[in-house]
Amino acid sequence: MNSLRHLARAPFCSRYISTSRVSLIRDKEKLKQMQKLMQRHDDVPIFLKKGASDHIIYYGLYFYAVCLTVYSGYSFYGMIFPSNE
């Protein structure tokens, strides 16, 4: 019985043990809203449906990939044709 009390006092378990019913209901409603958003047929890819933050991440990574590709070409050119300095 003592071990159960100590386990309940542990910081990593206390959050799961003391979860209120109100927060569970709120999280469930938020999940339902997100499911409705993701299941809507509006010709938008699933990875861009959450809005501006998804667009920033997606196009930022796209730009980063293009920059790395250009830099790789520049590096290969430098290795193939070294400067005569």
- Asked whether the beta carbons of 54 and 47 are under 8 A apart, the reply is yes
Res 26: pLDDT = 86
Question: What is the structure's pLDDT at 83?
Answer: 85
Q: Is residue 39 part of a domain?
A: yes
Cβ-proximal residues to 47 (8 Å cutoff; 6+ apart), any chain: 54, 58
In this prediction, residue 25 carries a pLDDT of: 83
Residue 37, pLDDT score:
83
Number of domains observed in the structure of the chain: 2
Measure the CA–CA gap between 64 and 35, rounded to whole angstroms: 30
Whether residue 56 sits in one domain with residue 39:
no
Which 3 state secondary structure label does DSSP give 20?
A: coil
Residue bearing tokens 């300095």: 85
Given this model, what pLDDT does residue 75 score?
A: 96
Supply the pLDDT for residue 39. 85
- Examine residue 63 and state whether it is found in any structural domain, yes or no: yes
Q: What is the 3-state secondary structure of 38-60?
A: HHCCCCCCHHHCCCHHHHHHHHH
**58 and 38 in one domain?**
no
Residue 1 located in a structural domain: no
Residue stretches of the chain with pLDDT short of 50: none
Give the domain extent around 27: 17-43
- The pLDDT assigned to 42 comes to 85
21 within domain boundaries: yes
How many Å apart are CA 54 and CA 47, to the nearest integer? 7
